[in-house]
Chains A and B, each alone.
Chain A
Amino acid sequence: NAGVTQTPKFQVLKTGQSMTLQCAQDMNHNSMYWYRQDPGMGLRLIYYSASEGTTDKGEVPNGYNVSRLNKREFSLRLESAAPSQTSVYFCASSEEQIRTDTQYFGPGTRLTVL
């Protein structure tokens, strides 16, 4: 099992450009998440999908959109990138969206917006 995979690993964008971050999991998990990690701030939830066909906003959703393409895949789109979106992005999944569930994380995408 590959677990949670993310592409690309690195990306540099210019302000105003768009891009999509891809995430896939092979653990048959129902719930998937997108986080951003900034120095001194831990991880902040951008969007999550409790199950296939549903998505909800997290703590910092502005400037992002998501698509739960199927049970395996959950993509994050930046329509018009801004320097404030420079960060490391992590995708995660869990079996169910319950309080006790462990989340499994991908290796991350390092995004720089110039």
Chain B
Amino acid sequence: AQSVTQLGSHVSVSEGALVLLRCNYSSSVPPYLFWYVQYPNQGLQLLLKYTTGATLVKGINGFEAEFKKSETSFHLTKPSAHMSDAAEYFCAVSEGTGGFKTIFGAGTRLFVKA
């Protein structure tokens, strides 16, 4: 079965600093990978996703992630953090053939310090 591991339940950065949120997955088939963001008291919304093709994926709000098959990773980055980036971030992988189920990681809460 596929699984997702997010390293670090909490990450704190200063405003303007690099954001790096780590995600590793396990999969016996080519994975489809997602990052979702959840702002306080809201539902999740898609940041970006990798399906096929280019391994560097750009998303909304200046975020990007790189699929590295050899490292089974899909880390999320943003060059310069903004206060508005404070939220919880979830990495997810979809599994199965025919129908599918999405497996979510436990989430990483990002704090941005002024």
Q: A and B: partners?
A: yes
Q: Which residues of A contact B (CB under 8 A)?
A: 4, 40-45, 48, 50, 56, 58-59, 90, 92, 97-100, 102-108
* A48, A50, A100, A102: residue with the most chain B Cβ atoms closer than 10 Å: A100
Secondary structure at chain B's binding surface: helix, strand, loop or mixed?
A: strand
Nearest CB in chain A: distance from B106 CB, A = 5
Q: How many residues of B contact A (CB 8 A)?
A: 25
> In whole angstroms, what is the CA distance A104 to B43 when docked?
8
Nearest CB in chain B: distance from A62 CB, A = 17
> In whole angstroms, what is the CA distance A90 to B46 when docked?
15
Q: Which residues of B contact A (CB under 8 A)?
A: 4, 9, 32, 34, 36, 41-46, 49, 51, 90, 94-96, 99-102, 104-107
Evaluate contact between A100 and B42: CB separation under 8 angstroms: no
Can you spell out 10 A-B residue pairs with CB atoms less than 8 angstroms apart? A42-B104, A43-B104, A48-B101, A92-B43, A99-B51, A99-B100, A105-B43, A107-B42, A107-B43, A108-B41
Nearest CB in chain A: distance from B70 CB, A = 22
Could you say which of B32, B34, B45 contacts A105, with CB atoms under 8 Å apart? B45
Evaluate contact between B90 and A42: CB separation under 8 angstroms: yes
Evaluate contact between A42 and B44: CB separation under 8 angstroms: no
